[in-house]
Amino acid sequence: MIKPHGAEALTPLFVDSAAQRAELLKEAEQLPQVLVSSATAANAAMLGGGYFTPLTGLMNKADVLSVARSMTTSEGVFFPVPVLNLLNEAADLKQGQRIALLDPNVEGHPVIAIQTVDAVEHLSEADIEEITHAVYGTLDAAHPGVAAFLAQGNMLVSGALEVLNFSYFETEFADTFRTAVQIRAEIAERGWQNVVAFQTRNPMHRAHEELCKMAMQATNADGCIIHMLLGKLKTGDIPADVRDASIREMVEHYFPANSVMVSGYGFDMLYAGPREAVLHAVFRQNMGASHFIIGRDHAGVGDYYGAFDAQGIFDEQVPDDALEIEIFNADHTAYSKKLNQVVMMRDVPDHEFDDFVILSGTRVRELLGQGIAPPPEFSRPEVAQILMDYYQSLDS
């Protein structure tokens, strides 16, 4: 199986021992209590599950600025985005201190991790602007990722973590949430060698289904992991439980048995386009996938990124030896009326726009909200029914 990123083995920061976790929770009662952002809680969950291998904690200022500028830490470890604990106020925190990080997304704000403070550093306005522009490619506060980042504060608290739980991801999505450690174990149990990973924050329509099949065939894959984001999204995106149900329905009816693993991970969407695409590749290498599909406008939002910028960054900015996972570059995929099958548009240069079945996201939402299924060339009827039920429930 493919090695984890930058290491011989995963470095999950979750405390496996129930007895040790109990001791740490007792210790946490006496520690300073720090309510962190949703982004920091998600970082803790990802560090806990091994997805951020080879990192062993939250980054300091030198690492953050180095990653923003060159996608490497100050010690030369390749990493595409800063992994932070940013606070609005940290005057009482000191180097060497142990603090309890409280989860903002769970009722009662339980302790998600204990952090041993390495440094407490101020990020200037210029620092914040540099990081924002490097990661998101814009300073526009209307960008949902930028808005979420700027809301976190400018006091940076770095240091090692002992992760005590996986927030709401493990409880609300018990059948779907899996750590990188767990996914590697299942890949090994299934005996898969070549494994294609597909990232999604949306339900999967016919084109996505066929794209996974195309990638599996092209890479001679033993299986495909449909790996959905379970964390915070922007307003209007479909909730994770609805996506989960629709994807499972599609897999059950339209993929060969035992060819697909449906799973999810606990992270908030950054909408950072190219940089986030590289981060997604790191996640998938760490969970054991050998190939990763990067499609049109991967991890994008609005018109902030070019349609294929998320593919170009791997050729233009990611060093050849930075990652072992192979990228499967996909074009826009749609149903061809001429050929009566889903194709990549680049593969059919003789087609005109009207030769494809293409619906805008707005039009699809309108149809579903009216209880009208999109054409079967666009969406499988079983998937459409789940989505229609969801959209109609919003009006009831």
Give the tokens for residue 239. 């909730």
In this structure, the number of other CB atoms found within 10 A of the CB of residue 190 comes to 14
Peptide bond into 54 cis (omega under 30): yes
| Cβ atoms within 10 Å of 306's Cβ, excluding its own | 15
Distance CA 273, CA 366 (A): 26
Q: Of 202, 248, 296, 365, which is the active-site residue?
A: 202
Q: Order the strands of the 260-265 sheet from edge to edge.
A: 260-265, 223-229, 195-200, 291-294, 326-329
Distance CA 67, CA 78 (A): 8
Which two three-digit tokens encode residue 97? 């201190």
CB 262 within 8 A of CB 226: yes
Q: Which of these is catalytic: 201, 248, 296, 365?
A: 201
Residue 212 exposed, middle or buried by CB count within 10 Å (0-12, 13-18, 19+): buried
User: Is 201 annotated in the active site?
Assistant: yes
Q: Where are the beta strands (DSSP E) in the chain?
A: 33-35, 57-58, 86-87, 98-102, 111-122, 155-163, 195-200, 223-229, 260-265, 291-294, 326-329, 333-336, 341-344, 356-357
| Cβ atoms of residues 334 and 342 within 8 Å | yes
If one counts every other C-beta atom within 10 angstroms of the C-beta of residue 357, the result is 18
Burial class (CB in 10 A: 0-12, 13-18, 19+), 117: buried
Enter the DSSP assignment of 180.
H
- Using DSSP's 3-state secondary structure scheme, residue 243 falls into helix
Residues identified as active-site: 201-202
